[in-house]
Amino acid sequence: GNSVTQMEGPVTLSEEAFLTINCTYTATGYPSLFWYVQYPGEGLQLLLKATKADDKGSNKGFEATYRKETTSFHLEKGSVQVSDSAVYFCALFYNQGGKLIFGQGTELSVKP
């Protein structure tokens, strides 16, 4: 079936460090891929998305490229800030229905 697997957290980095959060997926067809972020005490917010292979989604300095050959959608940021501390969720939207399928989430903690 369709599923999303993320690297386990928590991930702890110092400010200005490089961030990678791995995400791989299993899906039939050609899903769209998303990264959502959940800041402490807040609801889920869309961070970025990509709807087809080789698309790159980007927002707030974060990027992720839809790699069909490796079924991956890794999240990257060149220089993290303390304000990036949050839980990050990778998700896919598959073309046979209306639901998002989420990974388990990766907690990021950025220290000054």
Partner 1 sequence: GAGVSQTPSNKVTEKGKYVELRCDPISGHTALYWYRQSLGQGPEFLIYFQGTGAADDSGLPNDRFFAVRPEGSVSTLKIQRTERGDSAVYLCASSLTSRLQTGGQETQYFGPGTRLLVL
Interacting residues with partner 1 (CB under 8 A): 4, 32, 34, 36, 42-46, 49, 51, 89, 91, 93, 95, 97-105
Around Cβ 1, how many Cβ atoms within 10 Å? 7
Nearer to partner 1, 23 or 110 (CB): 23
Whole-number minimum distance, CB 61 to partner 1, in Å?
20
CA separation for the pair 31, 26 (Å, rounded): 9
Whole-number minimum distance, CB 98 to partner 1, in Å?
4
Kindly compute the dihedral angle of the four CA atoms of residues 54, 28, 94, 96, in this order, to the nearest 10 degrees: 140
Nearer to partner 1, 11 or 100 (CB): 100
Whole-number minimum distance, CB 64 to partner 1, in Å?
15
Residue 49 in tokens: 């998305």
